[in-house]
Structure 1
Amino acid sequence: MSAAYSKRFETVFLCCHEKGPNMSLGAAAKYLKKSKSFVKKWVRHYSIHKNVDDLSNRGKIRKTTSSEDNVFVNLFNQNPSLTLDKAQRKLSKKEIKISKITIRNRLCKYDIKHRSTLLKPLLTDVQVKKRIEENLNRDWDNVIFTYEASFWLSTSTKRVWCVKGKKVIQRTVKHPGKIHVWGCFNRRGFGKLLIFKQNLDAKFMKEMYQRALIPSANK
């Protein structure tokens, strides 16, 4: 018998059992080194239910079963970047109709929270205002914007649902295939689009300007 149950039985014996000493609530509490409310609670419980067991189905009624909890916990484990809206729709197809708040609460129960990397804006409001003032009267017919970007065959997600301290592993290759793209445009339209694989150094940049930038400017 556990220590908790032992104290409950002692309470009943001391206060209301026919072979007990029939102590008062205060005296029994002092003898057991428990609070008077503890003694009163179990004396009353015994008088109603004739036992000292915990009642079943106590507290707030759960909206999901344990098996349903496992379904959407596994759902987020398989797809950590899943949003609550998409999760709710996926669960609805499985005939599990619950609110986004309930989904979040269940995830928090398993210490699964939406953790993200620190985001920093490229330009502050002051910097944006300053650049607008500097370029407000510029002749944009004589300006060409250029930009280069890289595209990988496999990418990683930086914001996922996971337990604190757990490292989420995403399968990828060590050196994924990638291509680089360079393009340009101005207010009159788009220029040439150049696709290449080699690293962009000074020598190739000069070649790129000759092959793409100058012809686009002339056009």
Structure 2
Amino acid sequence: MTKRLVDEISEANDEQCTARVKTALENTHNITASETSIRQMRHQLGWKYGPVKAYPIIRDANKVKRVEQAKAWIESGDTFQDVIFSDETTVVLERFSTFAFHKKGRLSLKPPPKHPLKMHVWGAISRRGQGCIIIFEGKIMHKVTCRSLMHCTTVVYVVP
């Protein structure tokens, strides 16, 4: 009975430490068990504590396309004299677990939080040097916002 409950509690929240499982058994099911017993039960049930597998950011198909594009640039002899590289990155200000319990042969997959607090950083660089860096919150949902960001970060490259 206790072993089944430990399995159910671990299945419901695979990030819970042994002390929290013990508390859940005591508060919800009125069962007293030592942390050592709970660790042994988890081990017998096949639970292990380890890293969470994250979702890939760049798909393999896109990696191949990027390499092909880079090779094409090298072959063309492009010096990038007339190119401005602009990029935006997002810093997510929310913690989510990178370690969780999982059973042998089954990884613990965790999607990122749906609406975490985010800060966006946008900047540009060219052969002439670096542009300004802009840090902002919210979403880039409007073409005007994108144009104004591009103008602000690239205006240093315009020759009068």
TM-score (norm 2): 0.51
Alignment-mate amino acid for residue 211 of structure 1: C
> Does residue 154 of structure 1 match 2:94?
yes
Indicate if the aligned counterparts of 1:162 and 1:168 stay in contact, CA closer than 8 A.
no
Matches within 5 A, 1:47-86: none
- In the TM superposition, what whole-angstrom CA distance separates every residue of 1:5-35 from its partner, at most 9, and x where no partner exists? xxxxxxxxxxxxxxxxxxxxxxxxxxxxxxx
> Does residue 138 of structure 1 match 2:74?
no
**1:116 corresponds to which of 40, 53, 61:** 53
| 1:182 to 1:113, Cα distance in 2 relative to 1, 3 A | same
Compare 179-188 and 140-149 and name the one that shifted more: 179-188
* Counterpart for residue 24 of structure 2: none
TM-score (norm 1): 0.39
> Does residue 194 of structure 1 match 2:131?
no
| 1:180 to 1:162, Cα distance in 2 relative to 1, 3 A | same
| 1:141 to 1:108, Cα distance in 2 relative to 1, 3 A | farther
**Partner Cα separation in structure 1 for residue 80 and residue 109 of structure 2:** 47
**Partner Cα separation in structure 2 for residue 205 and residue 190 of structure 1:** 19
Runs of at least 5 residues in structure 2 that lack an aligned partner in the other structure = 1-14, 18-41
Indicate if the aligned counterparts of 1:153 and 1:176 stay in contact, CA closer than 8 A.
yes
4+ runs deviating over 6 angstroms: none
The alignment partner of 1:204 has SS state of helix
**Partner Cα separation in structure 2 for residue 182 and residue 116 of structure 1:** 28
Indicate if the aligned counterparts of 2:48 and 2:102 stay in contact, CA closer than 8 A.
yes
- In the TM superposition, what whole-angstrom CA distance separates every residue of 1:31-86 from its partner, at most 9, and x where no partner exists? xxxxxxxxxxxxxxxxxxxxxxxxxxxxxxxxxxxxxxxxxxxxx965xxxxxxxx
| 1:177 to 1:116, Cα distance in 2 relative to 1, 3 A | closer
Shift of 1:118: 5.2
Identity percentage of aligned residues: 19
Shift of 1:152: 2.6
* Counterpart for residue 183 of structure 1: 123
State the structure with more CA Rg. Answer: 1
Shift of 1:161: 3.5
**Partner Cα separation in structure 1 for residue 84 and residue 135 of structure 2:** 19
Aligned length: 109
Shift of 1:117: 4.0
- In the TM superposition, what whole-angstrom CA distance separates every residue of 1:90-144 from its partner, at most 9, and x where no partner exists? xxxxxxxxxxxxxxxxx965521545245444502xx344212321211312111
Q: Quick one: higher RCO (CA 8 Å, sep 6+), 1 or 2? A: 2
Going by fraction, where is strand more abundant, 1 or 2? Answer: 2
The alignment partner of 1:154 has SS state of coil
| 1:117 to 1:196, Cα distance in 2 relative to 1, 3 A | closer
Indicate if the aligned counterparts of 2:92 and 2:118 stay in contact, CA closer than 8 A.
yes
**1:211 corresponds to which of 127, 130, 152:** 152
Matches within 5 A, 1:6-85: none
